[in-house]
Structure 1
Amino acid sequence: MGLPKHVAVVGGGRMGAGIALSFAVNGSQVVVLERDTQSVDAAQARLTDIAQKAVAKDPAAPAIDVLLARLVVSEDYGLLGAADLVVEAVPEDFEVKVATLRSIEERIDEHTAIATNTSSLSVTKLAAELSHPARFLGLHFFNPVPASTLIEVVIGEATDESLVSSAREWTESLRKTPVVVQDAPGFASSRLGVALALEAMRMLEEGVASAEDIDAAMVLGYRHATGPLRTTDLVGLDVRLGIAEYLASTLGERFEPPQILREKVAAGELGRKSGKGFFNYS
């Protein structure tokens, strides 16, 4: 089967742009949909930047003009009608995602697959808001998407088994590895990753070690590519806070966000995107 010929990505932020690029690099025609002209311009600049980097780093990437020709950024949601697969990549808020998914459903036929890139929200609960939940599942991409080799395929209670098989093939065609999980709070990756990060934050609060040394313990001792605090900076402290709050509400107080995380988010220290998080990037 390979990749869908036509893919739409709703949301052209860092994750959405990375998802769009991954499909385009591997041969799909991709439209990225944004809400207004200003957002379209920002998404176009973001895509052009990461496309140039992909061409420089990825031997399998086509020439830059070929790659950019496969990528269209627009605010015309009527373009959803041509998609074989729609990937929702809007902010991690249940009501925002539901509104977006309903808007997508209004513009596609009942056979078009829909995937959410949520990192923690219930795929089953999102599907319950749709008219055709069997064609819906989670495709949890990881940041930075072009360099990441993992996609978490999340199966909702109503997800059709044939769609899961297709998602495995899409993932492999993107030159990534699928990890298939049942719908549960935080799935596998966010649940484990957030648990480690929250404990690292508590250790920093308690003065057990510096941020540098806590991360070094995991990088050198456990061969993690990056430590839990620097990974949190990459993901975004605000994103991690939202996931932790959701996991605390569903799985209990062991996921309660430490005060240091709440304070940094309140101060605007969101990680790499703001220039400062647990480390300084300015």
Structure 2
Amino acid sequence: MADIRTVGVVGAGQMGAGIAQVSAQAGYDVVLYDVSLELATKGVEKIAAGLDRLVAGGKLDAGARDAALARLKPADGVNDLAPCDLMIEAATEKEEIKRRIFAQVCPVLRPDAILASNTSSISITRLASGTDRAERFLGIHFMNPVPVMKLVELVRGIATDEAVFEQSKRFVASLDKTMTISEDFPGFIVNRVLIPMINEAIYTLHEGVGSVESIDASMRLGANHPMGPFQLADFIGLDTCLSIMQVLHDGLADSKYRPCPLLVKYVEAGWLGRKVKRGFYDYRGETPVPTR
């Protein structure tokens, strides 16, 4: 089996850019692909700005920054992914979008290339079944923000080849990340525990037990969480939280995973959190203000 030398990342948003950055810093050549060269180029620019901040803060030397940037290439079309030994999909958490991406990239990739999804909750076995390489498909789930968070969940589908899984372990270790191995069940480990906790916090608000501020303060100071559940939900994106809750509810058929109606209402309103400057907090002023 060929060594992993070139990594392709599909999706130049926050997650994809983060995966591309840590891969380039670890010495891999990286091809960053999105629906247009313009978006891929903006992703590389975002990475460059992040590396500049690390240099300014004394956490990275300028030579290492320049070397990482030299390994990054924005893709001018899907054919630029052809040399990749490993391709990681980091698109939005919608199964139909991921399936369309795999249908697009599989004919371009070499038969021996490994295909991975950064999905945070969707069945790896089911995603793999729609590709031409189920035995070379797995989940590599990075945490957000990727350059900061140390954990990566590795998820093996029912058909994932053992040698491919072992090679993927070595890849994750080379990024200076800590890995956990999860079985292929809805939400895996992190989101199976985390997102229902956020959903329960929203139910607690919905039922009038406490306010946004009191619930966040209670979990920060009473449970020693670094962020309150509403702060965290806004950071993750309320649309992503809802998508994961729907995957859990559909996949496990248990009423305890029913998305809170208030979460649904916020998503329907387009109040998705920090990325649109309004969620459970309003971020349009100097300091965040609760919206409920």
Q: In the aligned structure 1, how far is the partner of 2:171 from the partner of 2:57?
A: 22
Deviation at 1:94, TM superposition (A): 1.2
Does residue 183 of structure 2 align to residue 182 of structure 1? Answer: yes
* Superposed counterparts of 1:241-252, under 5 Å: 241-251=242-252, 252=254
Q: In the aligned structure 1, how far is the partner of 2:167 from the partner of 2:282?
A: 42
* Superposed counterparts of 1:129-278, under 5 Å: 129-251=130-252, 252-278=254-280
The residue type paired with residue 22 of structure 1 is V
Could you list the runs of 5+ residues in structure 2 that have no partner in the other structure? 285-292
Deviation at 1:127, TM superposition (A): 0.7
Q: In the aligned structure 2, how far is the partner of 1:199 from the partner of 1:218?
A: 12
SS of alignment partner, residue 273 of structure 1: helix
Alpha-carbon RMSD across the aligned residues, in angstroms, is 1.9
SS of alignment partner, residue 82 of structure 1: coil
Change (3 A) 1:267 1:21: same
Deviation at 1:30, TM superposition (A): 0.6
Stretches of 4+ aligned residues off by more than 4 angstroms: none
* Superposed counterparts of 1:102-121, under 5 Å: 102-121=103-122
Deviation at 1:187, TM superposition (A): 0.7
CA contact 1:35–1:75 (8 Å) conserved in 2: no
Q: In the aligned structure 2, how far is the partner of 1:195 from the partner of 1:136?
A: 27
Residue of structure 2 in register with 1:48 after alignment:
48
The residue type paired with residue 177 of structure 1 is T
Q: In the aligned structure 2, how far is the partner of 1:161 from the partner of 1:96?
A: 27
Change (3 A) 1:55 1:6: farther
Deviation at 1:58, TM superposition (A): 7.2
CA contact 2:31–2:75 (8 Å) conserved in 1: yes
Q: In the aligned structure 1, how far is the partner of 2:234 from the partner of 2:208?
A: 19
The residue type paired with residue 25 of structure 2 is V
Q: In the aligned structure 2, how far is the partner of 1:63 from the partner of 1:170?
A: 20
Residue of structure 1 in register with 2:24 after alignment:
24
Change (3 A) 1:266 1:214: same
Does residue 21 of structure 2 align to residue 7 of structure 1? Answer: no
Report the TM-score when normalising by structure 2.
Answer: 0.90
Q: In the aligned structure 2, how far is the partner of 1:73 from the partner of 1:58?
A: 27
SS of alignment partner, residue 100 of structure 1: helix
The residue type paired with residue 196 of structure 1 is M
CA contact 1:55–1:63 (8 Å) conserved in 2: no
Could you list the runs of 5+ residues in structure 1 that have no partner in the other structure? none
CA contact 2:37–2:74 (8 Å) conserved in 1: no
Q: In the aligned structure 2, how far is the partner of 1:266 from the partner of 1:132?
A: 37
CA contact 2:25–2:64 (8 Å) conserved in 1: no
* Equivalent of 1:279 in 278, 281, 285: 281
The residue type paired with residue 103 of structure 1 is Q
Deviation at 1:220, TM superposition (A): 2.3
Report the TM-score when normalising by structure 1.
Answer: 0.93
CA contact 2:75–2:81 (8 Å) conserved in 1: no
Change (3 A) 1:250 1:173: same
CA contact 1:7–1:83 (8 Å) conserved in 2: yes
Q: In the aligned structure 1, how far is the partner of 2:259 from the partner of 2:76?
A: 36
CA contact 1:230–1:278 (8 Å) conserved in 2: yes
SS of alignment partner, residue 91 of structure 1: coil
Q: In the aligned structure 2, how far is the partner of 1:277 from the partner of 1:210?
A: 14
Q: In the aligned structure 1, how far is the partner of 2:107 from the partner of 2:64?
A: 36
% of aligned pairs identical? 37
SS of alignment partner, residue 108 of structure 1: coil
Change (3 A) 1:133 1:273: same
Deviation at 1:11, TM superposition (A): 0.9
Q: In the aligned structure 1, how far is the partner of 2:228 from the partner of 2:134?
A: 37
